[in-house]
Amino acid sequence: MAFNNNIKIHEQFKVVPPSSTQTTTIPLTFFDIFWLKFHPVERIFFYTLPNSQSHPTFFFQKLVPSLKSSLSLTLQHFLPLAGKIVWPSESPQPIIRYTPNDGVSLLIAESDADFNRVNEKSPHEASLSRSLIPHLESTNSFASIISIQVTLFPNSGVSIGISAHHGILDGKSSTMFIKAWAYLCNKTIETEEDSPTLLPDLQPSFNREFIKDPNQLGVTFTNNWIEIMSKKFPNEKVNKKSLKIVASEPKLENSVRATFKLTSEDLNKINQMVLAKWEVFDENESKPHILSSFALACAYSLVCFAKAIQGVEKEKKKFAFVFAVDGRRRLEPPIPNNYFGNCVLGHFIDTQPLDFIKEDGVFVVAKSIHDKIKIINDKGVLEGVNERFSKYTSLSSEGFQIIGQTGSNRFGVYGIDFGWGKPTKVEIISVDRGLNIGLAESKDESGGVEVGLVLNKHVMDLFSILFHEGLCIN
């Protein structure tokens, strides 16, 4: 047994798909290569359980076996996730390779931390959740695709932590996998079926022929990564085919983690405020009737975020925002909704450096997000993508604070039930690896949005004041 931050590791399993004897290989598309070296997406689902189900005896004798067996059943539908990313010497780009007996790491752990403290949405130590997330292995020669940790909080609840390689899964795909696992786990508990069938909308398609690459973006992005690695490690001979993830270290010291909620009423207030200024600032352009919840939640949170950082760290004034855009329905022809893999690219909004901290920042940023989505819908998700890496590098070198976004308020994460009820909280832990906001739908009401973030304690205090005061709009 190993111990780590109130955590006792009981067992580590390699969960393999049942009766799979064939080696399978799948190429990476340019969408995958775009994210190849990014840090994993790390997410935790918290479940409150009655005492009987969260008692160690019940947990180890009943819940763990059903989670293991249903994970194995799920992997037979998602076979590549049990494999690894490799880069054969004869291949210009990495591939996914599954060979028989490959599997997914599943850690079974126990925590003596206060479940209510870890589970709360108000600010708490950023490090508390970190021990509930498993390490995702990546080396020069291979990278794992997912790893999972199930942690028991005796007589309180459980958490399920998942690390997913961003070069293989976007948020929609990783959520589909977790939904499929939960569905099969629920079915095996309910019906005691040995091999229940998966719902059609949870059956993944790994067909890479849907993604066309006439402009050789895969080659461009591969070369971009090689160049970035050479600059990052100028004194080392860069292994061009290294699959080691370049993960930013989590910001944990003096940092707190919190989740803020925007109700549908809050979003409606922000929408009215933005539209009231639309004609004043841009009388020649017809205003929309309503902005998307995504645009409103992002704009409001980003402005509070930027003003809080600038309020505490006076020298930080220049901000930029990059958000992930799903290409599934924006490609020609559109690709199936159940396509499994990356189909998102990062897009910067067109703002000026100081727009985020201006008095009318929420209007300016909301309009910029709305306008950028309109441009992408008109011109396609690949618009300007060739310059994405160079733009990021140039903004960073000019001292911009680049804020990113992860998750979505459309994934339906609060509906994921493994057989013991819906989550009490879902948290994207990897927002602590940079300046990021994590989005999810509201647990409590239809149409609301949750925003998760990790900030320095003093910055979070100011963010909280700005966030709550700004919603007191008459």
Catalytic positions: 166, 417
Asked if residue 426 lies in contact with residue 44, where contact means CB atoms within 8 angstroms, the answer is: yes
Determine the 3-state secondary structure of 354 from DSSP. Answer: coil
Asked if residue 295 lies in contact with residue 278, where contact means CB atoms within 8 angstroms, the answer is: no
Determine the 3-state secondary structure of 119 from DSSP. Answer: helix
Reference 434, options 308, 251, 257, 299; nearest CA is 251
Asked if residue 382 lies in contact with residue 388, where contact means CB atoms within 8 angstroms, the answer is: no
Backbone phi and psi for residue 272, each to the nearest 5 degrees, phi listed first: -65, -40
Distance CA 42, CA 428 (A): 6
Spell 311-334 as b/e; 16+ CB within 10 A means b.
Answer: bbeeebbbbbbbbbbbbbebbeee
Name the DSSP class of 413. Answer: G
Determine the 3-state secondary structure of 15 from DSSP. Answer: strand
Report the first-to-last Cα separation within the chain, whole angstroms.
57
Asked if residue 24 lies in contact with residue 98, where contact means CB atoms within 8 angstroms, the answer is: yes
Distance CA 234, CA 345 (A): 28
Length of the chain: 474
Neighbours of 24 (CB within 10 A): 16
Distance CA 113, CA 5 (A): 9
Asked if residue 279 lies in contact with residue 285, where contact means CB atoms within 8 angstroms, the answer is: no
Judge if the upstream peptide bond of residue 423 is cis by omega within 30 degrees of 0.
no
Distance CA 289, CA 453 (A): 30
Spell 224-235 as b/e; 16+ CB within 10 A means b.
Answer: bbeebbeeeeee
| Token pair listed for 132 | 């509930």
Question: Which residue is it, tokens 């090689």?
Answer: 226
| Token pair listed for 369 | 């997000």
Which burial class, exposed, middle or buried, applies to 238 when counting CB atoms under 10 A from its CB (0-12, 13-18, 19+)?
Answer: middle
